[in-house]
Structure 1
Amino acid sequence: MQPFIYNGLASRVIFGFGTLGQLPAEIDRLGLKRVIVLATPQQQREAQKTAAGLDGRAAGVFAEAAMHTPVEITERALEQVTESRADGVVAIGGGSTTGLAKAIALRSDLPQIVVPTTYAGSEMTPILGETKEGLKTTIRSEKVLPETVIYDVDLTLTLPAGLTATSGLNAIAHAVEALYAQDRNPIISMMAEEGIASLARALPRLMENPRDSDARSDALYGAWLCGTCLGAVGMALHHKLCHTLGGSFDLPHAETHTVVLPHAAAYNAKAAPDAMKRIARALSARSAPLGLYRLAKLLRAPTALRDIGMPADGIGKAVDIALQNPYWNPAPIERGAIHGLIERAWHGDLPQAS
């Protein structure tokens, strides 16, 4: 056994069916009196319904959360937080809404309760990615770690098939990188392999029957594990590329992770053989990169950056940005190899080692 350091993060998790009903009691447990409920415009009705059920505990609804957490939206949300005298935030939705809650907490230190409705996993991390003037930056601070996460499987039963697939593959990406992170450890590695396997079993079933409650439960469990992995160890090339592409070209977050993941895994395959064995085993595949690519194909998820809005003439710009302040990575970061990776991802080619 190699020496390691493991830091557990203090976040309370409530998991099950119908657990949204515990939200009022959780607000009281945290000593909060007036919470503001956050959502995207698409989930405004759900947020308003939730706020109405809080029996006077709601200070209002802010339903402008957006991908990549634009700073200007955070500033508008903070104005409403101040005007309503809110003493906490409740985020209902996916990564966009969770990101807004974290951005508010970073600036105000208000407690957060997050109710995920996708498999993004960011609710389990002390990581915040924000976008300003076309550039996305990330910070790691326990100030942005939610105090409570309520996983309600019932809220995922109507998640569309396309979002189910890409959101689940986004979660898998967190665990893949955790397996070859610089600060990996045996606890997180076990959780990562289990998270990948749970999602890989559940997602194909959900493509056939989106309301399969057992598969939904397995997928949400896997997403929790994968998110926990992301929160506990560092990120590498895959996340750097996705932050670069998403922030610079306004690409959809989960879809970007879906497309890039097999190629990033291939880039690191020779430098991280043990991680690749674990990933392949979790996927029941011979090759980790090909297994990830074929899973995306099986789920009818996008496999080419050009299909999710990235312009061909943006490849060079993406390479330049990705090489600025690179994250630690098991394989050396080399311009030509990174260019080849992004170009293959743009075309949707099979992943190959650089």
Structure 2
Amino acid sequence: MTLATQLLDWYYQSARELPWRADKDAYKIWVSEIMLQQTRVEAVKNYYTRWIERFPTPAVLAEASEQEVLNYWQGLGYYSRARNLLAGVREVCAAYGGRVPDDQAAIQSLPGVGEYTAGAIASIAYNRPAPAIDGNVLRIFSRLFCLTGDITKQATKREVKRLVLTHLPTQYPGDFNQALMDLGALVCIPRRPRCENCPLTNLCEAFMREVQDTLPVRSPKKVPQLIRLAAGLVVKDGSYLVHQRPTTGMLARMWEFPTVELADGEGAVERLQAGLLQEFRQDVHVGKSVFHYIHTFSHRKWDISFYQCEWLAGDKLPTTACWLSSSELTSMPWAGPHHKVALACQNTPNL
């Protein structure tokens, strides 16, 4: 049997039951694929279900505000994904009458849609013979064909794409791509692959050479840059001081409690007190630290402490800042661990 036949036979018996596989709706597949970027399947399921209940069609999502969309995305991280999805859906409604196009190139032209996502949508929703090559597929084909090239390099990615296209069936390309997704998630996992459960061991060169644990070859990731931060929980008449991050850059337009970055050896209390006076024109007394988090992004790691602050006096806030009551705190899309603190402040006012 061919690689595709063996893989599909296994898939039809072992396919995962996932909410976005209930039908072939291109919009739902699009939403799921964007959510699944950098996020585990189990973590996505509830977010996906809640999202589709609120935004069941492109037309409904296109009418939503960015802030509401970000609120529904809260906790998934990488918020540019949500903004691009909103922009892409609005383009679909404006240019394609609310129907996701069935051409891979047209799909890939939408904001935030890369080659992998376009291939997944085109093949699963419209049965187009388009590959959907992600980290799972790079790993699987590196082992199947004992590729020793670095999978982060373009030359290896091109070779994997050539091999995938060689084996991609024209009749069931969407099922083939989903089978590879499941194989990579359940069997051909990054460390200690479960070869005893694999339907392709008779075709796998790495398995036959007993080198499956050493593949794929990948350049080591850079260690995230550690950044020390101090944030202030400033309460005035039962309301908290918050502000919106800049319109561009990391966590753009997300909300946070006033935060300062600390230089090596710099004291948090003094720096936070000075920052609140300089940036927000608020005179406060910085008290004890009540929360501490280590929050890792792809390229940065926040070491952030939140301090109780007694408000003493202040002038008019900058336009990016405002006072929110504890009941209003969770109505905003928050940056990183600020969301956890906002929830705590809402549950325990005047913390």
Q: TM-score, normalised by structure 1?
A: 0.25
Larger radius of gyration: 2
Higher share of residues assigned helix: 1
More strand by share: 2
